[in-house]
Chain A
Amino acid sequence: MILRSDAAKGYSLSAPATIYVGFLVAAPLAILIAYSFWTQTYVTLDKSLTLKNYREALTDPLVQHLMLRSIWIAGAVTIVTVALAYPIAYFIAMKAHKKTIWLLLITIPFWSSYLLRVFAWKLILGFNGVMNSALLGLGLINEPLSFLLYNEFAVVLTLAHAWAPFAILPIYVSLQKIDPSLLEAATDLGNNAFQRFMRVTLPLTIPGIIAACLIIFIPTVGDYVTPALVGGSDGKMIANLIQVQFGAANNWPLGATLSLMAMLSVGFVAIVFVITGNRLGRRIR
């Protein structure tokens, strides 16, 4: 086949990916949207279009509560992870000599399954877990601490650990890209190390920080394994409710509606975040 133009070449080259994405993203999404306007009684699906699910989802205080909590937990995870990841990325990019080894070390948590890592935290934070035994053994506490597990704190801690590499890598890349002579120029123009960081390094790494935040925030809002295992009743998130609708409650239309609403909320928060982040970055002079 002779390709007549660059555009045709481009389309044919991207066709496999387009078809793949079409089947695995666009089609399921279309089905999800369709479901959200349908209703279900036990096993019979009523395909007449209705907004009943949306009305239910918007008025149910539980949905609102879980949605807000999901966003707040994901936000906390994002802030904690990025705040801890930045110094590590900075160290590797600016100070470390054997960068490859450090980057390899960072990926070590990924060598074991996500589920296993969550269970490991359960063992560490539990009533009879590693943490409490150690503190008791050292005589620092008289009875096991109960606030460690089965709450929001445990969810934030576990997720922050699980997502750390995803925050470190984009920040590392953006730090790595900074031309060292820019830092020297800032010094030359009278900046001390802190001023230089605030006025050159930080603004130039904002794209990396924003990428890290989105990479962490978007999936954590929808995470349901971690809250299910270490969240207890205080740590349940919107994804747990969605899972129930598709499982035990057998209400797929409501599940689909909740999924779409979660997607829209995440999208909205993410867009607002990206815009404010860039605005703030531009104000640094």
Chain B
Amino acid sequence: MIEKNIIELSGVEKRYGSFAAASGINLDLKEGEFFSLLGPSGCGKTTVLRMIAGFQDPTQGTVTIDGRNMEGVPANNRPTNMVFQSYAIFPHLNVGNNVAYGLRGRAPKAEIENRVAEALEMVELGGLQLRGANELSGGQRQRVALARALIMRPKVLLLDEPLSALDKKLREQMQFEMRNLQQSLGITFVMVTHDQYEAMTMSDRIGVMFNGRLAQVDTPASLYARPCDEEVASFIGEMNILPASVAGESDNALSVNVAAFGNMQIDRNPNVTNPGKGIIIGIRPEQLEIKSEKPEDYPATVQGKVINVAFYGENIHYHVTVDGHDKPIAVSVPNYFHTVDFNRGDTVWLGLQAASAIDLGRGK
């Protein structure tokens, strides 16, 4: 299958005086994919989205949408539509007129009515045309904003923190609904979010941004398994960070001496851009074994003491102090049998498999 790039950003930069809100952004988005820009607030992800929408002009670089250079093309002439963080529902119009807004004067009245009904049906607000804008709940406002943008049949739908105003239950429900909608329509969605779970559950690919730069662009699974550095590793999920020294290396393997755990042979992480002799190793809490006896079949083990137990329901987190590392190591165990096996003060053994130790390159 030939995948076409619907959006291409090359060398895009946005400066405010000496401050670079975004710089060196090179990004190709494929037609029909669900892409998320993920990062902490102030990292420049919204700036990138607004440059695609045309609300801000890049100081440098080019934005190409569907093969067309967007330089000088104002937001109202771009084949993109946006769902705003505040939803921006027109307060003086009812639901039907809000959804019809972009079509007025461009299509015959009967067609507008049909398309409005269809769009509202699609977001499960069928028949609510006459409802006033101020009589909507947060979730309904979000759906209206979606319908209002989708009715324009954009090539790309831009979503600026679309779920941040909703409560947790509704947010999770909307994640699935939006994902399904995107799959059935086949439109490219570009979403900005600071919520890693939201980005992971909904996206085909994620671009992680820090300080105006794209740190890594990858699928959720490889971002989780092979983050390019410590910053990305700690932002996506939880990660134990341990220093290590490299004793020997080959093309795709490293022989390392990890703090507390000792010597082991691990895979080289292809996403790392700054390798070196002194590197850091990341270990996901759920990939560590925790036992009261020294575990068999683990190449690296260490004994420690439980200093904290946190019960999350679906899993249990233990914080374990070990010799050779100052920070306690987090271990997460699924709650299989409704039992909490260890208590604060217990002596335990931790076991580490080579595949679970992630090479994160040199630290910052």
Contacts and interface: CB of A to CB of B under 8 A. Distances in A.
Contact of A200 (B53, B75, B90): B90
Contacts of B152: 189-190
Contacts of A281: 92
Q: Which of B74, B76, B81 has the most CB of A within 10 A?
A: B76
Interface string B76-102: 110011101110101111000100111
Contacts of A184: 55, 75, 82, 84, 88
A188 B82 contact: yes
Interface in A178-196: 179, 181-182, 184-192
A224 B147 CA distance: 56
Interface residues of B, number: 26
Q: Which of B74, B101, B104 has the most CB of A within 10 A?
A: B101
A179 B102 contact: no
A190 B105 CA distance: 11
Given A182-B88, A204-B92, A285-B100, A190 B148 contact: no
Q: Which of A185, A281, A282, A285 has the most CB of B within 10 A?
A: A185
Nearest to B93: A285
A181 B77 CA distance: 17
A187 B91 CA distance: 16
A179 B141 CA distance: 15
A211 to B, nearest CB: 16
A232 interface: no
A174 to B, nearest CB: 12
A87 B104 CA distance: 27
Interface string A228-252: 0000000000000000000000000
A187 B76 contact: yes
B276 to A, nearest CB: 46
Contacts of B106: 190
Nearest to A200: B90
Contacts of B101: 186, 189, 199, 285
Nearest to B84: A181
B74 A185 contact: no
A212 to B, nearest CB: 18
A203 to B, nearest CB: 5
A267 to B, nearest CB: 27
Q: Which of A190, A200, A281 has the most CB of B within 10 A?
A: A190
B75 A187 contact: yes
Nearest to B100: A285
Contacts of A186: 90, 101
A188 B55 CA distance: 9
B88 A181 contact: yes
Contacts of B86: 179, 181
Given A179-B88, A182-B88, A184-B84, A189 B93 contact: no
A195 B38 CA distance: 34
Interface string B134-174: 00000000000000110010000000000000000000000
Nearest to B148: A189
A282 B94 CA distance: 10
Contacts of A190: 76-77, 102, 106, 152
Contacts of A179: 86, 88
A189 B88 CA distance: 12
Given A181-B84, A184-B82, 13 more contacts: A182-B88, A185-B84, A186-B90, A187-B75, A187-B76, A188-B53, A188-B75, A189-B76, A189-B102, A189-B148, A190-B76, A199-B101, A285-B104
17 contacts: A181-B85, A181-B86, A184-B55, A184-B82, A185-B90, A186-B101, A187-B75, A188-B76, A188-B81, A189-B148, A191-B76, A199-B101, A200-B90, A204-B92, A282-B92, A285-B93, A285-B104
Interface of B: 53, 55, 74-77, 80-82, 84-86, 88, 90-93, 97, 100-102, 104, 106, 148-149, 152
Interface of A: 179, 181-182, 184-192, 199-200, 203-204, 281-282, 284-285
